[in-house]
Amino acid sequence: MTPDDKDREILTLLREDARISAKALAAKVGLARSSLRDRIAKLEKAGIIRGYRTDIADPSLSAVACLLVKLKTTPSPQVVKRLERLPEVKRCLSLAGEIDLLIDIAAESLARLNQIRDEISHFPEVAETTTAVVLRQEI
């Protein structure tokens, strides 16, 4: 499925507010609620919408890091599936170049961050990992 302009508008609005009501979203994109629900269902079925998240700024999460991963072979969808199961993984980006994945992790402690890093490092598809602990978020 290739999203059309209306689908991209829906996706943009959902990125801004995943909790927007169907009624409000339908009004913003100029669709009937039933048409909107059909489009969202198709986007979900196609895997374009993979889920809905709540992004919480939690001061108790005291260890944040970027994990740079080199894979033995690409693509490696099984790695992404395993990462999706780790609640501390907040984002995973596939990159072009020497580094294959950039993974953002937020954990309750450095010890937990280290456990997650070790777990990812031992995935059979992973060749190498580099951890960059975040000292401060500037923007």
Question: In CATH terms, is domain 63-133 a member of 3.40.50.10070?
Answer: no
Task: Tell me where in the chain the CATH 3.30.70.920 domain(s) lie.
Answer: 63-133
Pair 28, 36: CB distance under 8 Å? no
Q: What is the pLDDT of residue 138?
A: 81
Residue 55 has what pLDDT? 62
Span(s) in the chain for CATH 1.10.10.10: 5-45
Residues of the chain with pLDDT under 70: 54-61
72 within 8 A of 65, measured Cβ to Cβ: no
DSSP state letter for 87:
T
**What is d(CA 16, CA 66) in angstroms, rounded to the nearest whole number?**
23
pLDDT, residue 56, reads: 59
Give pLDDT, residue 53.
73
Interior angle at CA 119, CA 114 and CA 121, nearest 5: 90
The pLDDT tens digits of the residues spanning 17-36 come to: 888 999 999 999 999 999 99
The structure's pTM equals 0.59
pLDDT of residue 58: 58
Return the CATH number of the domain spanning residue range 5-45. 1.10.10.10
Angle at 47 between CA 86 and CA 33, to 5 degrees: 115
